[in-house]
Amino acid sequence: KAGVTQTPRYLIKTRGQQVTLSCSPISGHRSVSWYQQTPGQGLQFLFEYFSETQRNKGNFPGRFSGRQFSNSRSEMNVSTLELGDSALYLCASSQRAGTGDYNEQFFGPGTRLTVL
């Protein structure tokens, strides 16, 4: 099976702009989670989508949003970019068979966002 893919791999934006990142999960995986990785804050959970519904949300401002499509692909959007949004954004997918079962999350290579 192909792994988790993320596009684009690198992105440069300026303050105030908005950006959309894309994630394609492993075939058959229905849960997609997003994480932000920075040197100062480490890895932080942004949100999780399952069957096109947001299931969990981390402690990020409303400028960070996401969605999931019927084919389980997911996008995240950051509006009004700030310098502090510069980070590696990682997407992870899992099967999420439901309550009583748990599967590990498989991560994509990430999108490196630089805000100037």
Partner 1 sequence: AQSVAQPEDQVNVAEGNPLTVKCTYSVSGNPYLFWYVQYPNRGLQFLLKYITGDNLVKGSYGFEAEFNKSQTSFHLKKPSALVSDSALYFCAVTLYGNNRLAFGKGNQVVVIP
Interface with partner 1 (CB under 8 A): 4, 31, 33, 35, 42-45, 48, 50, 55-56, 58, 90, 92, 94, 96, 99-100, 102, 104-110
Q: Residue 19 or 29: which CB sits closer to partner 1? A: 29
Give me the least distance between CB of 65 and partner 1, in Å please. Answer: 17
Give me the least distance between CB of 9 and partner 1, in Å please. Answer: 9
Give me the least distance between CB of 16 and partner 1, in Å please. Answer: 28
Q: Residue 62 or 98: which CB sits closer to partner 1? A: 98
Q: Residue 90 or 113: which CB sits closer to partner 1? A: 90
Q: Which phi-psi region, left, alpha or beta, contains residue 14 (left: φ > 0; alpha: ψ -120 to 50)?
A: beta
Neighbours of 23 (CB within 10 A): 27
Q: Residue 15 or 55: which CB sits closer to partner 1? A: 55
CB-based contact 32:47 (threshold 8 Å)? no
Cα 41 to Cα 12: distance, rounded to the nearest angstrom: 21
